[in-house]
């Protein structure tokens, strides 16, 4: 049997980071930046007002106070977007709006709240120190300064600064496109009537959602029956739009295992047992001319889910150009005794709870079978029991991976 770590290492050695692609800014959310982006201009590009008020010379309002207001004639009105070059002479004021360029000669802005709001002349009842409410050119970014480096995941704030630095298009590692195919003659679409021996297909929905949660583009290709030729046809049709494929089911020891039957002869997909519980039967390799990675996950829903978390998610991160880190874990106290098969790493479903003092406890959910998807849906963590441990007493400290 392969160890969990060996299987993951083989996957990560095989998958490649996707080639960079230039995309419109609107398409860049959730991708990874593949170039250093600098601003061609300082940001802000010009000195401007941070408040609605009056641009003046600080010396002219230095003596202003509630009992000694200063009255200045208002000579201009400057709004944001006004490109005219204004100037404020000594003893004068310009009405100015937030974001408007600071007129030459002005060295402070008096907020409108400190004045009577006059338009022909303004009465100022509070002194504004030099530089008050002024945003200087280049205060956020100097001209030519790098605002984002290659490898940065693009979220909304990053997309914002790319636009703010004037970029319309940007070079990124795209979100991997992942096709999800489930297999099994027993599967029918949710919403349709169940016949004898049938179940609703949950894996294709769950895995497609997991792909999207992982920041990739998931395409649910539905389910195929237990027929290897049909499976290969479906796979072939999907490969054109796939950077990776996930299948569920059809990989264990039964008489009808279409995935194994169809892919084994290719010699590029290896099926093996991985020393874990759940998720023992695993397959991974590449298919098609473009050597598209394929993850053939076991059909039991909980096994499929855990396999995704352990093997597919890190691979998608590598494909997207993101660093692959081991899953974050925390220490918690086992609320009940736990059992694990010898020689296999167990991932038991649990609720991780913290008491008022911040102590973490892992409460295993009722129903640890790899078919018990409802139990998984109530869990928020996986308790990891190492290969060499078969019994964990209540109260022992365990390693827990929050979901
Ligand atoms: N003789 C042996 N039998 C089994 C072994 C073994 O080593 N020797 N391994 C068991 C383990 S462990 C697992 S896990 C499963 C994996 O089986 P497959 O990957 O071949 O999956 P299937 O047989 O197609 O399905 C297993 C189970 O899951 C249900 N299923 C499948 N697809 C879906 C879906 N899309 N949505 C909901 N449920 C699904 C399916 O109905 C089966 O009940 O093999 C064990 N057997
Ligand atoms: O190893 Mo299977 O995935 O437990 O049911």
Cβ of 102 closer than 6 Å to ligand 1, yes or no, is no
What are all long-range contacts of 386-391, with beta carbons under 8 Å and residues at least 24 apart?
386/345, 387/3, 387/275, 387/342, 387/343, 387/344, 387/345, 388/342, 388/343, 389/340, 390/339, 390/340, 390/341, 390/342, 391/337, 391/338, 391/339, 391/340
Topology match between the domains 4-18+175-319 and 330-402: no
Residue 211: closest CA among 239, 235, 181, 185: 181
Spatial distance between the Cα atoms of 300 and 177, rounded to a whole number of angstroms:
24
Task: Give me the residue spans of the domains in the chain.
Answer: 4-18+175-319, 22-41+144-173, 48-135, 330-402
Ligand 2 centroid distance, CA of 254 (Å): 14
Reported pTM = 0.92
What average pLDDT does the segment 27-41 reach? 98
What is the assigned CATH class of domain 4-18+175-319?
A: alpha beta
Architecture of domain 48-135: Beta Complex (2.170)
Ligand 2 centroid distance, CA of 36 (Å): 45
Ligand 1 centroid distance, CA of 370 (Å): 9
Model confidence over 123-133: pLDDT tens digits? 999 999 999 99
What average pLDDT does the segment 165-173 reach? 98
| Atom 4 in ligand 2: residue holding the nearest Cα | 278
Percentage of the chain lying above the pLDDT 90 cut: 95
Average pLDDT, the chain: 96
Please determine, for residue 302, whether its predicted confidence score (pLDDT) is greater than 90: yes
Ligand 1 centroid distance, CA of 252 (Å): 7
What average pLDDT does the segment 12-20 reach? 98
Please determine, for residue 26, whether its predicted confidence score (pLDDT) is greater than 90: yes
Ligand 1 centroid distance, CA of 298 (Å): 6
User: The domain 330-402: what is its CATH number?
Assistant: 2.40.340.10
Model confidence over 220-278: pLDDT tens digits? 998 888 789 999 999 999 999 999 999 999 888 777 788 999 999 999 999 999 999 99
Fold of 22-41+144-173: Molybdopterin biosynthesis moea protein, domain 2 (3.90.105)
Return the ligand 2 atom nearest residue 252 CA. 2
Cβ of 71 closer than 6 Å to ligand 1, yes or no, is no
Q: Under a CB-based contact definition with an 8 Å cutoff, are residues 49 and 163 in contact? A: no
Best residue among 274, 276, 282, 303 to mutate for probing ligand 2, ranked by most atoms within 8 Å of CB = 303
């Amino acid at each position: 049997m392969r160890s969990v770590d060996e299987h993951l290492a083989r996957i990560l050695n095989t998958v490649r980071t996707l080639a960079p692609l230039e995309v419109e800014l609107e398409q860049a959310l959730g991708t990874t930046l593949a170039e250093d982006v600098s601003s061609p201009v300082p940001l802000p590009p010009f000195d401007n007002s941070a408040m609605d008020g009056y641009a003046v010379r600080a010396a002219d309002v230095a003596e202003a106070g509630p009992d000694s207001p200063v009255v200045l004639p208002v000579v201009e009105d400057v709004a944001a977007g006004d490109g005219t070059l204004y100037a404020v002479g000594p003893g004068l004021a310009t009405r100015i709006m937030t974001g408007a360029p600071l007129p030459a000669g002005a060295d402070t802005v008096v907020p409108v709240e400190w004045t009577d709001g006059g338009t022909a002349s303004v009465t100022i009842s509070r002194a504004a120190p030099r530089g008050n409410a002024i945003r200087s050119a280049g205060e956020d970014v100097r001209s030519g300064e790098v605002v984002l480096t290659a490898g940065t995941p693009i979220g909304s704030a990053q997309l914002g600064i790319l636009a703010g630095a004037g970029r319309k298009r940007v070079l990124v590692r795209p979100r991997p496109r992942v096709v999800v195919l489930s297999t099994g003659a027993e599967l029918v679409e949710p919403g349709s009537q169940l016949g004898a021996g049938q179940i609703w297909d949950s894996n294709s929905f769950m895995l497609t959602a997991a792909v999207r949660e992982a920041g990739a583009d998931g395409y649910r290709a539905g389910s195929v029956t237990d027929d290897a030729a049909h499976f290969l046809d479906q796979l072939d049709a999907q490969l054109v739009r796939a950077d990776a494929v996930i299948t569920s089911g059809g990989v264990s020891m039964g008489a009808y295992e279409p995935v194994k039957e169809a892919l084994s002869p290719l010699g590029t997909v290896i099926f093996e047992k991985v020393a874990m519980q759940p998720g023992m039967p695993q397959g991974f390799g590449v298919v098609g001319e473009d050597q598209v990675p394929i993850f053939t996950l076991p059909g039991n829903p909980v096994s499929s889910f855990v396999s995704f978390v352990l093997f597919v998610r890190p691979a998608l991160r590598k494909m997207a150009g993101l660093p692959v880190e081991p899953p974050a874990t925390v220490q918690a106290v086992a609320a009940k005794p736990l059992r694990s098969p010898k020689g296999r790493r167990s991932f038991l479903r649990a609720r991780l709870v913290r008491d008022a003092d911040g102590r973490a406890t892992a409460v295993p959910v009722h129903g640890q079978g790899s078919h018990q998807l409802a139990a998984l849906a109530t869990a928020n963590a996986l308790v990891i029991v190492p290969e060499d441990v078969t019994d964990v007493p209540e109260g022992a400290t365990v390693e827990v991976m929050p979901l």
